[in-house]
Amino acid sequence: MPAPDAIPAQPLTDPASAPDPAHYRTAFDLAPIGLVLSRQRTIIDCNQQVLAVFRASRDQLIGQSFEVLYPSTDEFRRTGERIVASLDGHGRYADERVMKRVGGGELFWCHVSGRALDPAHPHASGIWAFEDLSAHRQVKAELTPREREIAALLIEGLTSKQVGKRLQISPRTVDVYRARLMRKYEAATTAELVHKLLSG
């Protein structure tokens, strides 16, 4: 009888029925929504749809900070802080925000959702989905970084107090920015402002 260490290990599953990693890669690459794998807010991998949404090549994104996809450094920093503060118990987060295409620098509305693989360390590693909303909503007015952030939260239906808490500013400051947005969009009420933001 052979020694125990000479007996070949038996696979736990039939190799013929094991998932093919190539199939997972194909599914990732051809998914109809943009997908990014991240580590410490750096793009580790992305699929073809992300390249199309941001009009970028893989060389322009892989190994780069997510900052290249934001209109400003402040928005990149503050969004990172909001993600840390707003993750649910499963590490999930979602919002709508203005982002920037790498090719051409055009600003556009984007729905972003994702999951931190370790909720205790939100930026350590994660997977993020990006959906281009520009077909239904366009960035028409020239907005400051803070105005873009407040516009996105007003679209979510948040009150001045809730927006202030999310952005760590006073409700009064939110009202000042809301008034600026209403002037730029020629809106008489918050509801009209939101309607115009949504309709582009």
The pLDDT mean for the chain works out to: 88
Task: Per residue of the chain (200 residues), give pLDDT as tens.
Answer: 444 444 444 444 555 566 677 788 999 999 999 999 999 999 999 999 999 999 999 999 999 999 999 999 999 999 999 899 888 888 999 999 999 999 889 999 999 999 999 999 999 999 999 999 998 888 877 889 899 999 989 988 899 999 999 888 999 999 999 999 999 989 999 999 988 888 76
What is the tens place of the pLDDT at every residue in 95-132? 999 999 998 899 999 999 999 999 999 999 999 999 99
CA distance 143 to 181: 8
Closest-CA residue to 84 (of 144, 156, 166): 166
> How far is Cα 50 from Cα 101, in angstroms, rounded to an integer?
10
Q: What does the pLDDT read at residue 147?
A: 92
User: Would you call 5 helix, strand, or coil by DSSP?
Assistant: helix
Residue 20: what pLDDT? Answer: 76
What is the structure's pLDDT at 8? 45
Q: Which residue has the tokens 């760590």?
A: 168
pLDDT of 1 reads 44
Three-class DSSP category at 66? helix
Count of alpha carbons within 13 angstroms of residue 168, beta-carbon side = 6
pLDDT for the residue numbered 6: 43
pTM listed for this prediction: 0.75
Paired tokens of 198: 């949504």
| Domains of the chain as residue ranges with CATH | 27-139 (3.30.450.20), 140-200 (1.10.10.10)
**In what order do the strands lie in the sheet containing 92-100?**
42-46, 34-39, 126-132, 107-116, 92-100
Tokens of 157: 């239906």
Tell me how far apart the alpha carbons of residues 121 and 81 are, in angstroms, rounded to a whole number. 12
